[in-house]
Structure 1
């Protein structure tokens, strides 16, 4: 291989490129290596490879990267070849790394909960995240198990989505790998759909519509009915902090608006500190406020969606992000966005990481808002064939151009 004057990468080719992998434009790349006297032995990159220590003789060879060479490449991590860091090799290696996650180890296989267990857990959590009877230990345990069922399903679906999206990105950049991965992509897509279907049981459509409507609410102002006298001149500032906490919970979480009141309560308690005088009045005032805010959101939901046609929205689902500080990966989507995709998905293209969602008007408006995490577009707005099925309309949208390795 002719190496250009550029930075180099040290790559254990035998570990990164498994036998049988299509090489595309890298077919025939020239390398030098070491082998024993036999022409059928392993090809090594360095003389001090542990597998060469007992060899009676070692000789240098030149070879072309092809199917037969892949069969012979040493898989020891010490056998590293230099490849140019010119953008082509890193993209290829990243694609191979993403595709390798479609062949999980046995210990990574996960068992889904049964339909009966999911129905019971979803039914219980529809009554609230926590039991009303705080002294009932059995009720606390049942709620904890129900939350674990939901959270485990969510984690499974997030992981499956990530594998599919990153693999799809890799195949877009290196299309010659697609035949090798198609069967596995289909298997994982079926797994993702089953996980999504079960997870959707935990989210109420009306709750999601209410969460979308919160964005349209005006910030409250301090009035005579708001008994925040305990805070003196800081009362307007405290109200703003409480409002932001309630709004963030109501918009970001996929839970009933009553749950958002807990975030507002927490903000109030932090503001109160050790104050005693005026505490009860402030708490009662906050209860009235959060009840009123929730009612305003419900009214806004009806105004935005009731009697109006639904919308077919395409979204680009982002992969999980890896923390630069070694803190693992996290999902950039809010709980509300995750729930909307789970409940309203009608078509998906994992090769491009896109999905079509058939949603009420208010949810559609929120998805299209610039502040959303997912890139989104109304598939029917400028569609020439507006009567086409959702998968066909989704296929016409390319949210971004991804250059392939030449």
Structure 2
């Protein structure tokens, strides 16, 4: 197929391709270069390169890409057709080479380590200082005088969000490099060392994130999913809502259960969603509002109690081995925010319960409580295949079972 000569892209070949990068069949493709008349020195993508300004004359030559690779000017751009194999290979090489920015970083100082340890202690009690998130209580407008404690929890949540984002970003870089090697297998010998080193960094980041998440919260969230939908009853506290009482009740349950199911927070930290639903239902009316908030606080407490009873219920198979392939973050432009396809609950479960990781496939084996396994299986999709490993029992270790897992068969179906 002829190249689309009318459509060119300017590419900095010298900065993308290093001499150690395998070129495969592209090494024989001729590229047009410019060099000084002596034939020595760098090869350039344009005769206007400032390095050539002192040359007495400049020659244009066509040379095989593989022969030119060690002499390419790192500052020049080469005009390549948009369907050039070199262009596509360059994108794959960039996906692998980008792993280097996460390697050999300075270790954290002692102060940061201590601050993160304190964050883990704070978050073990919840996302907010104890007894300060009881929205709608009589003292909701009072100044608590605990600014330092609030700042402590703010820092803790920021630590967790930062670790979560960094771990997901590292995972995405590794996934994209795997895709690049799958498209160009001859890159594997060069990519293998970088991917192996990044995997160690990725695992350290996963552990750091998992230390800021409470497994009990994840199990209770999974228990919320299996609770029966509560039936509306005419609580006297709902009187101020009038005809809107049942609608408000159902909306409160939906908002609370949906948020609780997909969150890494403790169940009590979802109370504000119910408070907001009730407040919106009243609008500017005040009559009966305090009583309604009190009734819904009791209702939420009952839902939390039921979820915890479900989480504590004995099971014949309390722990299950599950395989999952987490999706990468979608590629974004410079100013676009990242939109993680994983919910906080899904990401937390994968980070917390991982017992094996297949670097080349980007898959993980998780040893999870039964309720967590059921929720993971329920949210499996084409983008995130999930399957039980050895449901009938196996003596093989998780690493071996994970290596045998054909996750692509799930995405094909």
Shift of 1:115: 5.9
Shift of 1:307: 3.9
Say yes or no: does 1:207 pair with 2:217: yes
Q: For residues 309-352 of structure 1, give each alpha carbon's deviation from its aligned partner in whole angstroms, at most 9, with x where no partner exists.
A: 42111111111123469323232211111111111000012222
Count of equivalent residues: 394
Aligned match of 1:44? 44
For 2:253 and 2:358, the matched residues in 1 are separated by 38
Q: Describe the SS at the equivalent of 1:103.
A: helix
Shift of 1:110: 6.4
Aligned match of 1:376? 386
For 2:2 and 2:12, the matched residues in 1 are separated by 17
Aligned match of 1:404? none
The answer on whether the counterparts of 1:13 and 1:81 sit within 8 Å (CA) in structure 2 is no
Aligned match of 1:71? 70
Q: Describe the SS at the equivalent of 2:211.
A: helix
What are structure 1's unaligned runs of at least 5 residues? 402-406
With normalisation by structure 1, the TM-score equals: 0.87
Aligned match of 2:124? 126
Q: Describe the SS at the equivalent of 2:360.
A: coil
The answer on whether the counterparts of 2:319 and 2:368 sit within 8 Å (CA) in structure 1 is yes
- CA gap of 1:117–1:306, structure 2 versus 1, over 3 A, is farther
Shift of 1:367: 0.8
Structure 2 counterparts to residues 96-245 of structure 1, below 5 A: 96-104=93-101, 111=108, 116-132=114-130, 134-225=144-235, 227-245=237-255
* Cα root mean square deviation, aligned: 2.8
Shift of 1:181: 2.3
The answer on whether the counterparts of 2:80 and 2:87 sit within 8 Å (CA) in structure 1 is no
Aligned match of 2:408? 400
Deviation larger for 141-150 or 190-199:
141-150
Aligned match of 1:358? 367
Structure 2 counterparts to residues 312-323 of structure 1, below 5 A: 312-323=321-332
The answer on whether the counterparts of 2:356 and 2:365 sit within 8 Å (CA) in structure 1 is yes
- CA gap of 1:105–1:131, structure 2 versus 1, over 3 A, is closer
- CA gap of 1:144–1:215, structure 2 versus 1, over 3 A, is same
Aligned match of 2:349? 340
Aligned match of 2:136? none
- CA gap of 1:382–1:168, structure 2 versus 1, over 3 A, is farther
Which of 260, 267, 270 matches 2:280?
270
With normalisation by structure 2, the TM-score equals: 0.86
The answer on whether the counterparts of 2:103 and 2:198 sit within 8 Å (CA) in structure 1 is no
Q: For residues 226-249 of structure 1, give each alpha carbon's deviation from its aligned partner in whole angstroms, at most 9, with x where no partner exists.
A: 733333333333223222221222
Aligned match of 1:390? 398
Shift of 1:63: 0.6
Q: Describe the SS at the equivalent of 2:101.
A: coil
The answer on whether the counterparts of 2:365 and 2:402 sit within 8 Å (CA) in structure 1 is yes
The answer on whether the counterparts of 2:19 and 2:69 sit within 8 Å (CA) in structure 1 is yes
Which of 254, 261, 265 matches 1:255?
265
